[in-house]
């Protein structure tokens, strides 16, 4: 596969492509669209629904193997009915709505509507199979597809395996993005595919590893599959059974965090697995790889191992992992002195490293609850910071991204330098030797402002409609918008929250995963006024 001349992220590249010109027209003239042409974005959503319908049939394998209809009273229709409806609905949209070249606004609209539609379809098995309420089923589905990992379900250890597998599959699909998967299997290319790929988020500032959008998506999915296979082999070597290994693999490399056990990854140590320590370190490795820019993985596979520490964002990433691990470990020992020598030190280090890796990659796996006294007040504050930062650009992780944090710190340093050196000093913000243009800096600032505003409003709503304190309310919404998973109250409490809080969290999870802009386009009056 040919490689482009430069593999460094081009931060000067406009994130969203310019709307292509379909046909020449006089200056100032605009060809009116027919009502069917205005509905053209639904054509792409139809294809997405068809792909989802096919994938929904996968859990039926475990349903038949486990004879769940006898043991759990779970009918096969839990999956094949929504799959059939999704296939039929998708076919109808493609059959009766024509396809046309899409604009940037169309791409944003397709992205937002597509994610909502797929999450609605994905929620059906939770309603029909577990008899969950619609809001809980939608919450779980959105949490899965956005790889947030917040769950409102308890009793995972005795839940039907087909349902558990479906939860894992939707996280794996959401890791690189459902539209990215659709582009990979749908053989779509051209400006429309480029618009869709860019509008789904997580790609800001990322260069293409190979020429052409279709080849780029395929390259990313090849890396994703290699990491998936590596994690599966590691978990099997650690002693997991095949089902646990498959489910945890899908939710680890996608940095989603859904588990097949209420105790998450901590289950294996609690049950006395002989290689539980190996499983935890394997999870750390693959959580971190999932939280890295996939362009870096591509370079490593091409022999450029040094990109793991030469890249601007990767240097920040390792500093944050090491720094947060060190400070939290020191905070722990300050409040709980070392008692059992080296063995205790090794266990505590592993616990802290695991949780920091889980938080910075937005995975949400746990070997110990973040509200546990093991993590004192400083640790709890730092975990909230990690909920906002998240992983790297071009990864499966959530958050505002490490690259943006590095750029913001450079902006602060430049402002201080300008104030101390004289106002005439010109000191632009640079990354990889390239000057970051003002429009990109403004976009980062606007995104951060939107992120913090969403978290603040969600925390207010949570505190208003529940008896949670301010600290707990903030952690819940920060976890939702950052696509993290952990929070400072119990799963049982999350399940009992007012439906409006859950709705706000659903909006927050989608906004965080799509990086706010597509959702704003969906909710904008101007969008629907021109349709």
Q: What are the tokens at 307? A: 């990109």
Q: Report d(CA 204, CA 200) in Å as an integer.
A: 10
Q: What are the tokens at 397? A: 């992780």
**What 3-state DSSP class applies to 464?**
helix
Q: Report d(CA 368, CA 265) in Å as an integer.
A: 9
Helix (H) and strand (E) counts in the chain? 26, 2
Q: What are the tokens at 142? A: 């959105």
CA dist 283 to 71, 329, 364, 449, Å? 32, 19, 11, 33
Q: Which residues pair with 430 in a beta bridge?
A: 435
Q: What are the tokens at 95? A: 């059959």
Count of other CB atoms within 10 angstroms of residue 423 = 6
What is the predicted pLDDT for the residue at 23?
45
Count of other CB atoms within 10 angstroms of residue 103 = 20
Q: Mean pLDDT in each 10-residue stretch from start to end of the chain (531 residues)?
A: 36 36 45 67 85 90 73 80 93 85 73 88 94 96 94 93 94 80 53 52 48 69 92 96 96 95 95 95 96 90 89 93 96 74 80 96 93 91 92 89 91 82 71 80 85 93 95 94 92 95 95 77 61 53
What is the predicted pLDDT for the residue at 228?
95
Q: What are the tokens at 384? A: 């909230």
The DSSP code for 32 is P
**What 3-state DSSP class applies to 434?**
strand
CA dist 421 to 369, 411, 412, 418, Å? 48, 15, 14, 5
What stretches of 254-293 show up as alpha helix (H) in DSSP?
266-270, 276-290
What is the predicted pLDDT for the residue at 21?
40
The DSSP code for 156 is G
Element (H, E) at 435: strand 434-435
CA 142 to chain centre: 11
Specify whether the CB–CB gap between 292 and 284 falls below 8 A. Answer: no
Q: What are the tokens at 56? A: 């929904």
What is the predicted pLDDT for the residue at 279?
97
Q: Is 504 left (phi over 0), alpha (psi -120 to 50) or beta?
A: alpha
Q: Which of 176, 49, 201, 51 is nearest to 111 (CA)?
A: 201
Specify whether the CB–CB gap between 170 and 141 falls below 8 A. Answer: yes
Q: Which of 226, 247, 229 is nearest to 298 (CA)?
A: 226
Element (H, E) at 431: strand 430-431
CA dist 455 to 194, 442, 443, 449, 482, Å? 30, 20, 18, 10, 9
Q: The tokens 């939280």 sit on which residue?
A: 291
What is the predicted pLDDT for the residue at 25?
44
């Amino acid at each position: 596969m040919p490689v482009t001349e430069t593999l460094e992220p081009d931060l000067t590249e406009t994130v969203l492509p310019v709307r292509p010109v379909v046909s020449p027209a006089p200056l100032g003239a605009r060809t009116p669209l027919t009502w069917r042409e205005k509905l053209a974005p639904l054509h792409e959503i139809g294809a997405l629904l068809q792909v989802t319908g096919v994938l929904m049939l996968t859990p039926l394998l475990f349903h038949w193997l486990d004879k769940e209809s006898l043991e759990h009273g779970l009918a096969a229709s839990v999956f094949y009915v929504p799959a059939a409806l999704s296939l039929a609905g998708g076919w109808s949209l493609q059959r009766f709505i024509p396809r046309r070249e899409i604009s940037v606004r169309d791409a944003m609209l397709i992205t937002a509507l597509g994610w909502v539609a797929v999450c609605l379809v994905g929620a059906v098995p939770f309603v029909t199979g577990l008899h969950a309420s619609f809001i809980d089923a939608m919450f779980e589905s959105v949490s899965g597809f956005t790889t947030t990992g917040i769950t409102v379900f308890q009793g995972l250890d005795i839940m039907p395996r087909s349902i558990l597998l479906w939860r894992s599959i939707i996280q794996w699909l959401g890791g690189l993005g459902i539209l990215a998967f659709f582009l990979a299997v749908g053989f779509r290319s051209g400006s429309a595919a480029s618009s869709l790929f860019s509008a789904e988020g997580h790609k800001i500032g990322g260069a293409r590893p190979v020429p052409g959008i279709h080849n780029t998506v395929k390259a990313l999915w090849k890396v994703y599959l290699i990491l998936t296979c590596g994690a599966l082999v590691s978990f099997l070597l650690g002693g997991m059974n095949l089902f646990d290994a498959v489910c945890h693999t899908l939710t680890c490399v996608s940095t989603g965090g859904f588990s097949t056990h209420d105790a998450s990854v901590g289950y294996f140590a609690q049950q006395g697995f002989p290689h539980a320590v190996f499983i935890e370190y394997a999870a750390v490795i693959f959580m971190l790889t999932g939280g890295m820019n996939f362009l870096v993985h591509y370079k490593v596979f091409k022999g450029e191992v040094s990109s793991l520490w030469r890249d601007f964002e990767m240097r920040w990433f390792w500093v944050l992992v090491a720094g947060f691990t060190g400070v939290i470990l020191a905070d722990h020992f300050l409040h709980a002195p070392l008692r059992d020598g080296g063995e205790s030190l090794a266990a505590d280090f592993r616990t802290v490293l695991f949780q920091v890796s889980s938080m910075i990659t937005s995975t949400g796996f746990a070997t110990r609850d973040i509200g546990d006294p093991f993590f004192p007040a400083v640790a709890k504050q730092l975990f909230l910071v990690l909920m906002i930062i998240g992983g790297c650009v071009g990864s499966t992780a959530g958050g505002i991204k490490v690259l943006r944090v590095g750029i913001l710190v450079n902006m602060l340093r430049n402002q201080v330098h300008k104030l101390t050196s004289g106002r005439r000093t010109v000191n632009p913000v640079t990354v990889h030797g390239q000057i970051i243009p003002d429009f990109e800096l403004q976009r980062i600032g606007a995104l951060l402002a939107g992120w913090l505003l969403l978290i603040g409003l969600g925390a207010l709503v949570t505190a208003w409609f529940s008896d949670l304190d301010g600290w707990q309310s903030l952690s819940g919404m920060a976890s939702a918008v950052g696509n993290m998973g952990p929070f400072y109250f119990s799963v049982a409490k999350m399940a009992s929250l007012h439906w409006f809080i859950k709705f706000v969290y659903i909006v927050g999870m989608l906004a965080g995963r799509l990086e706010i802009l597509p959702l704003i386009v969906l909710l904008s009056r101007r969008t629907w006024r021109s349709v």
